[in-house]
Amino acid sequence: VSDQLGTNYNYLAINFDDAALAHREVRQALAFATDRETIIRYLLRGQARIADGVLPHNSWAYEPDVAQYPYDPARAEKLLDAAGFSRRPERGGMRLHLVLKTSTDEFARLLGAVLQDQWRRVGVDLEVRSLDLGTLFADMNGGNFELAYLRWVGGNNDPDFFELVFSSRRMPPDGANRGHYRNARLHPLVDQARTEPNPERRRELFAEVE
């Protein structure tokens, strides 16, 4: 029996065109409000590790020196306050309402329920909608979502995918940038990294991208 770390990647896709999620503080607050250790311990029976980036630890371009978001609900609340989303008594103390779209997979539905509970503690009212995969991907490709949960199996081993997923030139139907992420600094970096012959310099360029 061979037992080794896998590269399956569970993530929340974010629509950067959404009025609330366009605020960096809101996106960061959701990260700080998510207790990933508890999710791994109880939903995944400990059979996972917290991702500190998009690339897995065994990737040749893995970069550990990236921003970290440990569970910190107090910090999440401060960020939401700073973004202008204060608790509102007429909404039962909630700050904002968000919709998470998932597949009908049992783990996806359970994860949605856990996030509902965790985010409610910081004043985020999360609605979970379970859809068949075809509808889910159609909504995402059409930009008809706020948040979506998906699992990536093996597609994130090489950093060449950064261009496909994060370049503003690769929004659907021309790529997989479904969240409409835009960053002008990314284009020259990925273009240079894809043609750079020196492996170490290429790793440095992708590290800057991440």
3-state secondary structure of 92: coil
- What is the reported pLDDT for 14? 97
Model confidence pLDDT, tens digit, residues 29-76? 999 999 999 999 999 999 899 988 888 888 899 999 999 999 999 999
Sequence-distant (6+) residues with CB within 8 A of 48 are 10, 40
CB-based contacts of 17, cutoff 8 Å, min separation 6: 143, 180
pLDDT confidence tier of residue 18, bands split at 50, 70 and 90: very high
> Confidence band (pLDDT; 50, 70, 90) for 108?
very high
Q: Report the share of the chain in percent with pLDDT over 90.
A: 79
pLDDT of 156 > 90? The answer is: no
Lowest-confidence segment of 13-27, 55-69, 125-139 by average pLDDT: 55-69
Residue 115, pLDDT > 90, answer yes
Q: Are 95 and 123 in contact (CB under 8 A)?
A: yes
- Does residue 91 have a pLDDT over 90? no
Query: Over 80: is that where the pLDDT of 21 sits?
Result: yes
Question: For the stretch 151-162, what's the b/e string if a residue is b when 16 or more beta carbons lie within 10 angstroms of its beta carbon?
Answer: eeeeebeebebb
pLDDT digits (tens, 9 = 90+) for 176-210: 999 999 999 998 999 999 899 999 999 999 999 99
How many helices and strands, by DSSP H and E, does the chain display? 8, 4
Beta bridge partners, 125, equal 97
Average pLDDT, the chain: 93
Beta-carbon contacts of residue 199 (< 8 Å; ≥ 6 apart): 60
Cα 178–chain centre separation: 12
